[in-house]
Amino acid sequence: MGVRQPHGAPSQKRNKPPVSIARIEGRVQPARSGDPKRVGPYRIIGRLGSGGMGTVHAGLDPAGLRVAVKVIHPAQAEDHEFRARFRREVQLSSRVHGPCLIPLLAADPDAETPWLATAYAPGLTLDQHLAAHGALTGGTLFAFATGTAQALAAIHAAGVVHRDVKPQNVVLTPAGPRVLDFGIAHAADGTSVTRTGVMTGTPGWISPEHYRTGTAGPEGDMFAWGTLVAYAATGRLPFGTGAPDVVAYRVMSEKPDLDGLPDELREPLTKGLAKNPAERISANAAAEECARLLARQATQVLGPAAEPEPTQIGDRLTTAWHLPNMEDPAWSLPGLPRRKRALVTAAVTAVAVAAISGGIVAFYSSGDRGDVTLTSDRTTSSTPSTEISAPISASETTASGTPTETTFAPAVDPRTIRIPKDPLAGVDKPAYTRSDDEAQPHHDEWRASTTVGSPEERDAEKAIRDRMKSMLATKDMDFMKPTITFNQRAQTVMVTGGPVPQLPENYQEVFRRAGEMAACSALAHRLKNDPTTWPYGRFAIYWKTSELDATALGYGEATDGCISGIAGQWHGDESGMATAEIPSSDKGEIHVADAAVKAIVATWNANTTETNEAALALNDGISLGFDPIENAAYVWTDDPNSRFTSHVSQSNLRSTVEEAVCRKLTLEFHNNKSWEYTRWSVAVYDAYTGTRQFIGSGTCPS
């Protein structure tokens, strides 16, 4: 019973299994002698597993958020072919964003010891769960089928083929299934990451056409998906177990064993397990069909109601998912480093791929904060409201108590009031005493926080809530309503969002940034105005995963400043760019963005006689969007015509953007009292790194 393999291919036996980026056994194992203390920006606290490719460490980012860091074995790092494959893995992984995936956060494929980091996925892999708890049933099974199909749809949409869909590469997290290691296999354009001539995949999870010809495409992933869902539902492999040749024969020649599978799932799984790849269901179609089945499961108890549309079903995946939260005490370490504006993407599924700087691909940024203009609520009124600030004027009394004549200071534009950078400077005995405390707020302090208990807390709550609403509204995200609570013992204000089922992960990132800015600015002003009585100087941002539990998104202190900067100057970063790329719902922003792009093109063309550059057209790929968190206009181009590849052309573009965009922003600032955008940044696509590089940032004169 022989099986044809590609020429020169070894048998299906593997010497060592590759290590999954997210986890091996579901718990943090102690670090071993020789393990690094830090990898890139991440502090290493233990191990998640190891394999033939490398070791996966449990790490914490500067905010104390959990990450899985894969570090390649030194012997592998010395192999030039392997390093090239690993670099390609990073490039492929950075393409993929979508539901039920683990986003790539950062990587350095060119380091002496290459590494990459992803968000941490708590939970057991499918095979571990089946061994411990048995097969999936009911809504959980239908949610599993829907989520894994959605993940493969996102992978295929990015031009990537997984090629190793199997139970070890799916983690059952409390929030739903997560598909792992989608970067290790193959680009749909045929560019292989794996070594030529080696049969990839795991016996029992390989498609018939892959066995026959070595062909691996999206259709092969869907064959493995059908096998995966059947295995999750029954605990049995549909083509059985045994010697690899025997399993291969069954895959190519026999019908799958689907006994015990719910009747509703038979049709999509039968389509997925078709021998002919041309007859197989696509990932998109499988996701839609399973989503309908999931909705039908949820509405059965209501009787013969009309079947919901697919667009109504996204919220049901997390609602139908019933798995316990797996908290590992090894993550709860004391003395976590203080947050300094680290950006997380969880990335991030729809977060823009960050620039490569010094060889590191990063989805976060950090830096010192500097003074910035205080921003007011974005409303249509002619007099925008301000945050907590000093009164403009007041009547006074003389030493004898005789009232003096009331005087009125000239009206102050609230947009020019600066957030105090060091609000407690010179204060002898401030009420806030934890500015030197390195330990960030922990989960129990969030649980112990309470609603407002004083007029001062009520004012702060309103300032934070209103500020967040105004920022989120510009992106049509004001449905994410924050809950503001206080823990006086921890001297911390908690800003909590969610739960919102099936929320895109980049929305959580915008919520985090808005919460941090609103809380930081409100607390900084309150500390400045009432330093001896106002006890709150810290803030923490949480996102509810259920009505009773939440995940920390970020943390900061109002005594550190509220805007990141370098050498006292504001600079754009990847998080701001990612927010700016989300379409605006504000008509004024849309109008100014269109006018600014036209001004950039016109200014560039007016200078061509001096720069000797070719003229630009509006269809040459110049885009502009707004980040309402730091009041910045971001300009970017993916440079479809390779116009900005040289340092000279980039310098000309930077000067053009500064001149044209600042002209528009300043004009709008003086004509529209609710306009707050005063900063600009520009990024250009770099073909060498495959990412956008920032080439300039600044603040416009007002």
Kindly report, residue by residue over 518-565, the tens digit of the pLDDT.
999 999 999 999 999 999 999 999 999 887 889 999 999 999 889 877
Lowest mean pLDDT among 140-149, 200-209, 393-402, 488-497: 393-402
Please give the pLDDT value at position 322.
75
Residues 6+ apart with CB under 8 A from 80: none
Q: Distance between CA atoms of 162 and 183, rounded to whole angstroms?
A: 7
Give yes or no for residue 183 having a pLDDT over 70.
no
Strongest mean pLDDT among 181-185, 550-554, 629-633? 629-633
- When pLDDT is averaged across residues 117-136 and rounded to a whole number, the result is 90
Q: Distance between CA atoms of 367 and 62, rounded to whole angstroms?
A: 11
Please give the pLDDT value at position 238.
93
Please give the pLDDT value at position 514.
97
Please give the pLDDT value at position 99.
82
Please give the pLDDT value at position 378.
37
Neighbours of 274 (CB within 10 A): 17
Q: What is the pLDDT of residues 593-612, one digit of tens each?
A: 999 999 999 999 999 998 99
Please give the pLDDT value at position 567.
67
Q: Distance between CA atoms of 37 and 71, rounded to whole angstroms?
A: 12
Please give the pLDDT value at position 656.
95
- When pLDDT is averaged across residues 562-585 and rounded to a whole number, the result is 87
**Residue at 111: amino acid letter:** A
Q: What is the pLDDT of residues 232-271, one digit of tens each?
A: 999 999 999 888 888 888 999 999 999 999 999 999 999 9
Please give the pLDDT value at position 502.
75
**Which tops the pLDDT comparison, 94 or 131?**
131
Q: Distance between CA atoms of 232 and 225, rounded to whole angstroms?
A: 10
The one-character DSSP state at 437 is -
- When pLDDT is averaged across residues 15-22 and rounded to a whole number, the result is 41
Q: Distance between CA atoms of 631 and 672, rounded to whole angstroms?
A: 15
Whether 635 and 623 have beta carbons less than 8 Å apart is answered as yes
Give yes or no for residue 695 having a pLDDT over 90.
yes
CA angle 177, 178, 179 (to 5 degrees): 125
Give yes or no for residue 302 having a pLDDT over 80.
no
Structural domains in the chain, CATH included, are 38-320 (1.10.510.10), 368-388+413-432+440-565 (no CATH), 583-699 (3.30.300)
- When pLDDT is averaged across residues 12-33 and rounded to a whole number, the result is 55
Give yes or no for residue 392 having a pLDDT over 70.
no
Please give the pLDDT value at position 373.
33
Whether 505 and 175 have beta carbons less than 8 Å apart is answered as no
Please give the pLDDT value at position 591.
93
Please give the pLDDT value at position 369.
33
**Which tops the pLDDT comparison, 336 or 435?**
435
As given in the structure block, the two tokens for residue 170 are 């799916």
Please give the pLDDT value at position 346.
33
Please give the pLDDT value at position 65.
81
- When pLDDT is averaged across residues 644-659 and rounded to a whole number, the result is 93
pLDDT band at 13 (very low <50, low <70, confident <90, very high): very low
Lowest mean pLDDT among 24-28, 171-175, 246-250, 443-447: 24-28
Please give the pLDDT value at position 565.
72
Q: What is the pLDDT of residues 66-115, one digit of tens each?
A: 899 999 988 888 888 888 888 887 887 777 888 888 888 889 988 889 99
Give which of 140, 70, 68 is closest to 111, Cα–Cα: 70
As given in the structure block, the two tokens for residue 489 are 């013992």
Q: What is the pLDDT of residues 346-373, one digit of tens each?
A: 333 333 333 223 334 443 333 333 333 3
Burial of 387 (0-12, 13-18, 19+ CB in 10 A): buried
Residues above pLDDT 90, as percent of the chain: 47
**Which tops the pLDDT comparison, 615 or 305?**
615
Q: Distance between CA atoms of 487 and 537, rounded to whole angstroms?
A: 11
Give yes or no for residue 407 having a pLDDT over 60.
no
CA angle 282, 287, 289 (to 5 degrees): 95
Residues 6+ apart with CB under 8 A from 581: 352, 625, 634, 636
> Crossing angle for the helix pair 587-606 and 647-671, nearest 10 degrees?
140
SS3 510: helix
Instruction: State the chain's mean pLDDT as an integer.
Output: 79
Please give the pLDDT value at position 19.
43
Q: Distance between CA atoms of 237 and 246, rounded to whole angstroms?
A: 13
Whether 652 and 611 have beta carbons less than 8 Å apart is answered as yes
pLDDT band at 203 (very low <50, low <70, confident <90, very high): low
CA 556 vs. chain centroid, Å, equals 19
**Which tops the pLDDT comparison, 694 or 687?**
694
